[in-house]
Structure 1
Amino acid sequence: MAFVVTESCIACKYTDCVSVCPMECFFEGPNFMVINPDECIDCSICVGQCPVGAIVEASEIAPDQAHFVQLNRDLSHDPRWKRITQAKPPLPEHEVWAAAKNKLHLLKQQIET
């Protein structure tokens, strides 16, 4: 089972996790990141790097976050979402959103051009 980025990442997008991923399997959108489950080798190195605990093992995901398993798969295969391999600063209002719950409606799937 692969690891999954969950709701806590939305509107924060901390990227500490990407720089330690040996498989470079993170993809980023406007305000969220996902892990490509077909590339993840389950090493768990990224888990401890996330300051908001947004990365969990797919088989241990909370029932209210289960839809993120498919969302990670879908968005990591979306050609508009690009692979990210180096850390970047978090989003400008990350501190406001870090502890917020029920943020799915804020997820931007479309890359604005």
Structure 2
Amino acid sequence: MGLSTHVLDTMHGCPAAGMAVAFFRTEGDQATLVRQLVLNADGRTDGPLLDNASLQPGTYRLSFDVGAYFKARGVALPEPNFLDRVSLDFGVAHAEQHYHVPLLVSPWSYSTYRGS
């Protein structure tokens, strides 16, 4: 299954449909954009970010545009936003395994973990 992500909007209690996400491969301080996408109605990508054949051991980054998402939902946010982009840097040690990187987010907090 490769690498996947999923975002839940904990303020509204629903998937974060329409949130923009950028996915990078990283090496030290260098980040190379792999792809940009928008989450579907279930707060997920339409397919894996990388399938098992493309996933390689190494470091990656997911950058979630949470500020724009909550503004589009009509949430009154301070200027500047407390959270604008949430970037998660993570490592893949075993490319043959499935890596799922969920994000639970509100305008003021977030949480992540290695999902299944």
Structure number with the higher helix fraction is: 1
Q: Work out whether the TM-score is over 0.5.
A: no
- TM-score calculated relative to the size of structure 1: 0.29
Structure number with the higher strand fraction is: 2
- TM-score calculated relative to the size of structure 2: 0.29
Bigger RCO of structures 1 and 2 (CA < 8 A, at least 6 apart) = 1
Q: Which has the greater radius of gyration?
A: 2
